[in-house]
Each structure stands twice: as structure tokens, then as C-alpha cells.
Amino acid sequence: MPSRLSDAIIRLHPDFTSLQELPESYAWNQRDDIDYPSFDSSAESVPIIDLNDPNALQNIGHACRTWGVFQVINHGVSTTLLDMVESTSRTLFSLPVNQKLKAARSPDGVSGYGFARISSFFSKLMWSEGFTIVGSPDEHFRQLWPHDYTNHCDVIKEYKQEMKKLAGRLMCLMLGSLGITAKQDIKWAGPKSEFKEASAALQLNYYPACPDPDRAMGLAAHTDSTLLTILYQNSTSGLQVLKEGVGWIKVSPVPDGLVINVGDLMHILSNGSYPSVLHRAMVNRTRHRLSIAYLYGPPSSVKISPHPKLVGPTHPPLYRPITWNEYLDTKAKYFNKALSWVRVCVPLNGLVDVNEHNNSVKVG
């Protein structure tokens, strides 16, 4: 096969398992990524917070301010369910490429199988496959497993339910540590602070073992466009977070632990007190890696803005109000600069957009 054609097929049909060498299209030798030193967890490590600890709220506040990420244990999600969702994801990514492509994400769609959405911002390809689930998994799972999709659908539905409960609990703790009471101060939290109307997406990520991991990139550095993200990772390490003034720090998998990322919308809501965390996924020479991200945000009609309790004469609002969809559109256009597009600056005589031309950008 002529190499340009085979390269094009690899681009569209990534059958990583058959590759013995890293194709140039996957070699990030120029490091299109942000270059900072990397450290393993012995240098400094992401806080691990026990949700049964009476100091959990304070610990979460400290972790959000200083890291933008933490791991939780004793979170109430059963090991059995975590094992089941891992097994469903593994079964999905083990399907033949042609079968997976039956559920390919359409160019203007959000759900389905494909490369990471952020791929278009990079000249090199990422060593990963993804499957995004927004709403019900039924339709796409029927395409993948025409005869036995129901069990897999049930696992995903139960997982989403459990994640929604945990995300609501984490919202109360994160907001509580900012002095915001969900019940009184966040209308859309509802009377029982359950955040029932929240929206979410589930992202399954698969990183096959890679013949040249030092030159490859699993998922390039990004922040999540969420309020918060709950990430389950299997026992293979690969996730790294950027700690300001230090460098890339490994987030070592903890048995039954879940990684919680502060997302861009929480950054806005907290008026910058809880900065969203820049993170990336590296790959491994001998072991594949799986991760499952629950991306959590507000109901579609809700505009997120710096909370009134956090703004005042000496703390002006740093961001303008924006819905999740509007923010996702901004991210799709400006990627890691999206947050600064939403930022306002404070001249002596009032507030204006940092990007005055930004006012004419159509979002939503």
C-alpha cells in the first residue's frame, strides 16, 4: 500500500495494536505540547482526600486552591461498579476497528467513537481512542453490539447515576469551602442540594501500549470545560497535572480512588480562586491504559458567572456570564485560550472585555 494512503487509513482507522513502530504522524518530537519538567510523585503529590474525614471540606478547599486537582477515597462508589465500567470500556475498545467505526462520532456530533476532539489543534496525532456518551448510550451501543448491548447500557446508566450523586456531593463540599451554601446560594442546586438538573458527558479513553512512549502523546495538555470532572483510571499510570512553578506531576493510581479535576466553569464560578488544572495523559511501552471521565456541568440554560458572594468592591468579577454550551463553543474555537476569552479586565472607570472584539463572536 502506498505509504500516504496507509497513513491516511491509520489516521482514520487507528488500529494501534498492529503497529510495531511509531509512525511519524504520531511522533511528538518537536513537543507541540507545553514543555515543563516532569516529576514522579516522590517530588510532590496530588492530595488524597478521605470523604469520611471530618476535615474533608477544608482539605478540599486547600486542594482546589493550590492544585486544582485531588483524589478521593471512601467516595461511596462500589469497587464492583468501577470494575464493571472498566470491563465494558475494555470490551468496547477491543472490538475490531470496523465495528467501532459503526458508532463513529459524526463531524458535527458529540457522541460516539473517535479521536480526541482537541486533535484538530495539533499537527501530530494522539496515541489514543475515545468514546463519548452524552445522554443514553443505547443507540451507539446497539451499533457496536447488535445482539447483547443491554448489559453494557445498564452498566453505563448505573455508573452515570452514581457519578451524578458523587458530583452533587463534591459540588456541596467545593462550594462550601468557598463559603457558598448550595441550598441557599445556587438556585439550580434545587431544594435538597442534589443538583438534579445538572448536565454531564461520559468520556471513555483508551491508550494502547506504545512502541515509543517517549515520543508519543496520549492526550495533549488541556483543561476540562466543566465545573468538575471525576476520573477513574485503571492501574496503569499516565495522567500528569501541571503544578505552577514545579512542573508536570504524575497522578499515581490509588486502588478505588477517583481523581477530581477543577474545570474551567468552576474557575469562573469561584472568580479564579479555584483554578482549573492543566493535565495530559502519557502512554506506556508495555501496558495499555484506560480512563473514564465524567464531565459535569450546569443545566444547559444556566449561565455561570463569578458568584456574588465572592465579588465586591475589592474583588471585581473577572469573567462574564456564560452557559456550558457557549463555553464549549468557545473552547472548540480557541482551545486553551478559551478562559481568557471569557475574562474581563478592570479599568478605573468600569468593566470591559479583555477581548473587546470578543463581543462580536457568535457562541451557542
Ligand X SMILES: C=C1C[C@]23C[C@@]1(O)CC[C@H]2[C@@]12CCC[C@@](C)(C(=O)O1)[C@H]2[C@@H]3C(=O)O
Ligand Y SMILES: O=C(O)CCC(=O)C(=O)O
Task: Output 264 or 329, the one with its CB closest to ligand Y.
Answer: 264
Number of residues near ligand X (by CB under 6 A): 15
Contact 266/225 with Cβ under 8 angstroms? no
For residue 290, the minimal CB distance to ligand Y (Å) is 8
| CA distance to 123, 178, 241, per residue, from 181 (Å) | 45, 9, 29
CA distance 17 to 1: 19
Number of residues near Fe ion (by CB under 5 A): 1
Q: With CB cut-offs between 5 and 8 Å by kind, which of ligand Y, ligand X, Fe ion, none does residue 129 bind?
A: none
For residue 10, the minimal CB distance to ligand X (Å) is 20
CB neighbour class for 358 (10 Å; exposed up to 12, middle 13-18, buried from 19): middle
Instruction: Centre a 10 Å sphere on the Cβ of residue 6 and count the other Cβ atoms it contains.
Output: 11
Q: Give the dihedral sign, CA 308/309/310/316.
A: positive
Q: Please identify, among the stretches 56-64, 167-175, 186-194, 217-225, the one whose residues bind ligand X according to the rule CB under 6 A.
A: 217-225
The residue whose grid cell reads 444556566 is 302
Strands 129-133 and 289-297, bridge-based pairing:
unpaired
Task: Output 58 or 236, the one with its CB closest to ligand Y.
Answer: 236
| CA distance to 7, 134, 180, per residue, from 28 (Å) | 16, 31, 43
- Contact between 224 and ligand Y per CB under 6 A: yes
Q: With CB cut-offs between 5 and 8 Å by kind, which of ligand Y, ligand X, Fe ion, none does residue 133 bind?
A: none
Strands 48-50 and 69-73, bridge-based pairing:
parallel
Q: With CB cut-offs between 5 and 8 Å by kind, which of ligand X, ligand Y, Fe ion, none does residue 281 bind?
A: ligand Y
CA distance 360 to 7: 39
| Contact residue for ligand X among 8, 12, 34, 110 (CB under 6 A) | 110
Q: Residues near 164 by Cβ (< 8 Å), separated by ≥ 6?
A: 195, 198, 200, 296
| Contact residue for ligand X among 201, 216, 228, 342 (CB under 6 A) | 201
Q: With CB cut-offs between 5 and 8 Å by kind, which of ligand X, ligand Y, Fe ion, none does residue 239 bind?
A: ligand Y
For the window 254-293, what string marks contact with ligand Y as x by the rule CB under 6 A?
-------------------------x-x---------x-x
Ordered DSSP codes for 124-138: SPPS-EEEEE-S-SH
Applying the rule CB under 5 A, the residues between 191 and 230 that interact with Fe ion are: 224
The residue whose grid cell reads 454550551 is 325
Active site residues: 289
Task: Output 182 or 241, the one with its CB closest to ligand Y.
Answer: 241
Residues that bind ligand Y (CB under 6 A): 203, 205, 219, 224, 231, 233, 238-239, 279, 281, 291, 293
For ligand X, the binding residues (CB under 6 A) are 110, 116-118, 132, 201, 203, 222, 224-226, 293, 295, 328, 331
Residues that bind Fe ion (CB under 5 A): 224
